[in-house]
Structure 1
Amino acid sequence: MKAVHFGAGNIGRGFIGLLLHEAGYEVVFADVNADLIDAITAADSYDVHEVGAGGRTKTVTGFRAVNSAADEAALIEEIATADVVTTAVGPNVLRFVAPVIAKGLLARSSGSPRLAVMACENAISATDTLAAEIRSSAGDSAVTVDERAVFANTAVDRIVPGQDPAAGIDVTVETFCEWVIESTPFGGATPVIPGATFVDALGPYIERKLFTVNTGHATAAYAGFAAGHQRIAEAFADPEVRDLVERVLRETSALLVAKHELDPAEQDAYREKILARFANDALPDTVVRVGRQPLRKLSRDERFIGPASQLAERGMLTDDLVEAIGVALRFDAPEDPESVELQQLLADLAPAAFVERVTGLPPEHPLTPHLVEVVASR
């Protein structure tokens, strides 16, 4: 079995690539970073160091790497003969990898089994987004693409911090990981990935993860940055930061229970498990790394506006999420281009215009007045 994975970075090697390796796949990493591809090509193995309670080191072997910018023909051939294609490139990059996936699908033998295509991104329905881009790239051959591929959405969860440059291609990760894949598109013939969980309805899992893990992690980053902390674990040890994170996640939990009819006790237990992960002092994650790309994180369907808007539409409380959004507006990290753009937009736009442009909410939305107020009073 062979899997082609787009994104040979830390998440690709330390999470998806690891689980594919453990499932028995030969993993072909595809990336545009020439130095990284050369380093992977030169190595026979790499180690994934799990840190925290029960942590251990796992060794990955049997992989190859392709420079997707310099050797498209080789990548097309790999896709044409693969069983699985996955991505961990970031939601905004999916449109750039779609064309070569389309070419690989069109190059597959008509008698080959359908290729399982799964985008493993921190975004809702990322595979749907990727599939639409692939169909668009295929043009008149879009029908053939659907005949040769199965597109399945996923929910992924593993904290992979910034790495020590001296580590080479080894990766340090937390012990916890979760890869949930919708099973319905496969019609009962799901890929062999023992480390993944296949479910009929993925929506609750995606929102549970995004509105608990990602919302909480980002809140800790922005509140920690505002308080002058450097690392996430350090920030989370601050009682005021932790209090805000806990209040925010109580609001998102209320939404998840109401919307998806989750068991309240099970959601409470899940939330407490997530809070314990943020406190893992063995993870050298920084508030700047976790807080980067604030404009994306403040967009319509993301970790703050997504749950806050749905709560407002239901007439439920949003005070703590709105407070966290206000803290996020103070994220001023010159090394992050989106942070720089955020601060420029705050300086250039009136509060109402800023809210509509950044969050995508119309003026008549019930959450909008609260956001306009927090922008105006920042």
Structure 2
Amino acid sequence: MGYAAARGGRDAIEAAERLIARDRAESAAPPLTDDQLTDRMRLAVDRVMGEGGLWEPGLAAAALRQSEGDPIEAAHLVRAYRSTLPRLAYSEPADADDLELLRRIVPAYQRPPGPQLLGRTTDYTGRMLVTDPTSSPSGDDPHHPDPLDAADDSETTGAVPSVDRPNRAGRLLDLLRELDLVVDRRRSDDPEPVDITRHAVRPPAARSARLAVMARAETGALVNLWYRNILGPDGYLHEITLGEVRHGRLPVDVRHPDLDEPVTIGSVRVTEVEAIEDLDGIGEDRTRFDVGYGMCLGHNEKKAIAMANLDIACERDGGATALEQSVLMTTDGLDATGFLEHLKLPHYVTFRSMVERKMAQRSDLPDPADAPERTTA
């Protein structure tokens, strides 16, 4: 009986897998290619790479296609594949100032050190649905831009930095430090960052562990956690200002085994955010600001902004609440989804034991019919 039930369950699972394969093969639409997904669905591919913890656009596109567009399932596929890869080398520490800028905005300052680059963004585009994939929301022909848009502006431009424009841009944080307006949380020592893929992290955790967890967190979960924790230690709304929002290509260097010197093997696109917060709580230095940091793979400004603000929130909280625990243990999309998905698996044995406990407890209760009758005077 037990074997037959197991065999029947296996047959049903295999039939479900065949149904997926058949529906994909018989679909009237042509199969999606990796190039189509990486070019046309770049933000979805970037999100899968970030939450999967692996930079490989082709694999992320394949995972997105296999998961039928479910980004969490795609990230699960990427992370599972990543766990099978050998570690051939460790990269050298990357300097964020080496970022080849594709986009850089400084909302807090009109004329910051370095250029403002609007880059590729929908921040200023009307949220109007366009059903024709060849047209733009503004109605302009993307292949024939307005001549007025071609004018170069040394302070603000939507163009990608050209070869004659320096890649290294000054930071607003440097200016604030010169004015002695920011708390300096830099350390004199240089601790190794926590490798969260090999060591489980629990509060209290090093700042590198918190940032690494948030870099792989599910974007919606992280944004939601930030939104629920935008009150300062004194219970009032945080005064949040973004100092830097950057997107660009960050070189990846490894040490050559023969030459014993760093060599660049490629680059990854990252999003970097520095968030400024007004210190106005009890016991805080109200003459200065604090700055939070966030960096994640791909172009994902929502996640990086939430990261930077939660970085400050954890610092200001100081372990007084469960905020750090929530950051470390409730924002991973794979963990949360894995628990949710397992609820769809058979639980009839567990549920039957629950029913039997209820019936046993009921049998121990006195019969209401045996209770003495109440009389009134």
Give the shorter-chain TM-score range. Answer: under 0.3
* TM, length-normalised to structure 1: 0.20
Q: How does the TM-score come out when normalised to structure 2?
A: 0.21
**Bigger Rg, which one:** 2
With a CA cutoff of 8 Å and minimum separation of 6, indicate the structure with the bigger relative contact order: 2
